[in-house]
Chain A
């Protein structure tokens, strides 16, 4: 066991992937000498060279478009989009090309491209630096969309994403980059074979009364809520979804059938957010087990506010517990 920050765990994961497979490339703005604005790629260019860790021109569509071309030539590019709000210039390449080209080719082409996106708020940033654009991408067939919430998953999931033959949009909870936890770095490849597949979710805290569904930055918030609710005699089960597309429906259903109550928590706006899909699926699959409607906690349906207001925008412990109260009040 090694203690790593989430950012360093991603760094170690990418380093391992690059050691394992010479076709793995890292590309993006400032990922080389600087090591990325969050230092997630720190030291990789020094160790793997400029041919494999590519400081690109400042154009997101160009990053994804050329990554597609590199993948067509047999490479496995890992692209960094510097901030969530800057993925939109690349949206066309991601949605019309990256997601759809394998189908267009009737399966003859594979595009193992990872698009890393630091996401979410809570760091006091200016506009476009705190967004949660996951639902745009979960709605796009052909993409896999995952979100890590802790250093251990970050280390494992980034390697699994790189190994996957499908394009993966990989969300990283930027405000958790500096949080530390133990990471089990296997000494042999047999170790990684035992990892939980990255398209499966995980119960990170078992409970009996309410299922809390979260991913990325909100997993920690839900764990804190579960601890606080314990004092009120309520047992919250926290599920870290990890994969949003595909969704681990089986795990979600199993948990909600057991608890009969569910609260979904994400930073993104509630209206048409990923929680809407979860609520609909749970209603279909768990209708007779539900003691209360599925409630969603998320941002208001507004643009992300100036940072002095972000504490009001982001779901926090109190808002999560408020929703828990409401599912018990039914």
Chain B
């Protein structure tokens, strides 16, 4: 089960602006005024990233990717927070932030490189202000805080956001990053996607209190948001980033969501969770509620939805085609970029291995 073990304290609060049924609701602290065009844009983002994710799962099943970490179910948390960023803000992802990557303008094919095994990361972090995927759980939280300390020293009008999951909150690095951010009042937003499962371990293996409440012990605010509500995720993250940029320090956002798929394509969730749980969360789907809201409020017509579906299919086909065309690196690329400056051991071993390979030619 995914219930919070609140131990007699007040029940968790929860920022929601759009119900699972597609009804707009108000919140005293957070609201958002979106134009129909912005709403259509968010819907498009949600559908396209889900389609890219679906294609990647299929590519893995067909042996074209070694593994894939699906974002299914977490689209609203990622698009809502990702669209809250300004160009100057810097994002530090885990390996599941395909939706945030989309918002930062990273070509989806570049996400596939590390899962296909042609590289460990295929985009320029500085070009997109989107750092490389970090696989060691929670390490990137410290990088984000350090980067935010750099922003402070530069006097720049920017903030960082760092993504991590519920499991990561048990890591020492994450807790150290909370301390650093608090002590130095760093402009960083901690965006925790609580998708209820750290591979097979449910939240109660990580925490006895709602995760967002951990922030108060470190001396900064925490808030829980409906992670399947793209409007709420956008509103809350936008406010947190604005506060961080204006010198009000860090904030923890717990996006309460659900990992609808497996941890990765190598995982089998039927071994540790019941089907009814997934069925319950399907009723809270992050895309359906936006679609429903748009229909009801005549923000889009069937023609729009059909066009987005067609665009998604085109994108899926394009991603597949270009994934298959990703070239395997040359063997001697093993020695490239290990060091930024000349390094004689690399030179020596590259030459030796090159000569060895040449022995097979001719």
Q: Which positions in A face B, CB cutoff 8 Å?
A: 51, 56-57, 59, 61-62, 64-75, 89, 92-93, 96-97, 100-110, 141-142, 144, 164-166, 199, 245-247, 249
Size class of B's contact patch?
Answer: 35 or more
Contacts of A62 in B (CB 8 A): 142, 173, 176-177, 179-180
Q: Which residues of B contact A107 (CB under 8 A)?
A: 336-337, 340
Contact status B177-A65, CB under 8 Å: yes
Residue B183 interfacial (CB < 8 Å): yes
What are the nearest 7 A-B pairs in CB distance? A69-B146, A65-B142, A73-B150, A66-B146, A107-B337, A62-B176, A69-B147
CB distance from A133 to the nearest CB of B (A): 19
Contact of A247 with B345 in the complex, beta carbons under 8 Å: yes
If A67-B146, A105-B121 are given as contacts, then 5 extra A-B residue pairs at C-beta distance below 8 Å, sorted by A number, are A61-B172, A70-B146, A75-B150, A142-B338, A199-B344
CB-based contact B121/A75 at 8 Å: no
Contact between A108 and B126, CB atoms less than 8 A apart: yes
Check B143 against A69 for contact (C-beta < 8 Å).
Answer: yes
Docked complex Cα distance between A37 and B286 (Å) = 54
Interface contact B339-A102, CB-CB below 8 Å: yes
Kindly identify which residue among A51, A69, A249 contacts B145, using a CB–CB cutoff of 8 Å. Answer: A69
Among A59, A75, A97, A246, the residue within 8 A (CB) of B344 is: A246
16 contacts between A and B (CB under 8 A): A61-B176, A62-B177, A66-B142, A66-B143, A66-B145, A69-B150, A73-B150, A96-B139, A97-B134, A97-B143, A104-B120, A105-B124, A108-B125, A109-B132, A142-B339, A249-B348
Contact at A59–B343, with CB atoms within 8 Å?
A: no
- Chain A residues with CB under 8 Å of B151's CB are 73
Which chain B positions have C-beta within 8 A of A100? 120
Q: Is the CB of A245 within 8 A of B121?
A: no
Do residues A249 and B126 form an inter-chain contact, with CB atoms below 8 A?
Answer: no
**Which B residues lie within 8 Å of A68 (CB)?**
142-143, 146
Q: How far is the CA of A104 from the CA of B119 in the complex (A)?
A: 7
Q: Which residue of B lies closest to A250 (CB)?
A: B344
Query: B142's contact among A61, A245, A247, by CB below 8 Å, is which?
Result: A61
Establish whether residues B183 and A69, one from each chain, have CB atoms under 8 Å apart when the complex forms: no
* B340 and A102 contacting across the interface, CB-CB below 8 Å: yes
- Residues on B with beta carbons closer than 8 Å to the beta carbon of A108: 124-126
Distance, CA A71 to CA B177, complexed state (A): 16
Query: Does B66 interact with chain A (Cβ within 8 Å)?
Result: no
Q: Does B330 contact A (CB under 8 A)?
A: no
Q: Quick one: which of B45-78 are within 8 Å of A by CB?
A: none
Give the complex CA separation of A96 and B126 in angstroms.
21
A139 to B173, CA, bound (A): 23
A66/B149 in contact, CB under 8 A: yes
- Tell me if B312 is interfacial: C-beta within 8 Å of chain A: no
Partner among B131, B149, B337 whose Cβ is within 8 Å of the Cβ of A102: B337
What is the CA–CA distance of A202 and B303 in the complex, to the nearest angstrom? 76
Alpha-carbon distance A96/B171, docked complex (angstroms): 15
Establish whether residues A74 and B136, one from each chain, have CB atoms under 8 Å apart when the complex forms: no
Given A65-B176, A97-B143, A102-B339, answer yes or no on A72-B125 (Cβ-Cβ < 8 Å): yes
Please tell me if the beta carbons of A69 and B142 are within 8 angstroms of each other in the complex.
yes
* Chain A nearest CB, measured from B232 CB (Å): 28
B87 to chain A, nearest CB (A): 16
Chain B 143-160, CB-CB to A under 8 Å as 1, else 0, gives: 111111111011000000
- Please indicate the chain B residues that have their CB under 8 angstroms from the CB of A142 in the complex: 338-339
Given A65-B176, A106-B121, A72 and B150 contact (CB-CB distance below 8 Å)? yes
Residue of B nearest to A67 (CB): B146
How distant is A28 from chain B, measured CB to nearest CB, in Å? 13
User: Please, which residue of chain B has its CB at the minimum distance from the CB of A247?
Assistant: B345
Q: Judge whether B147 and A57 touch: CB under 8 Å.
A: no
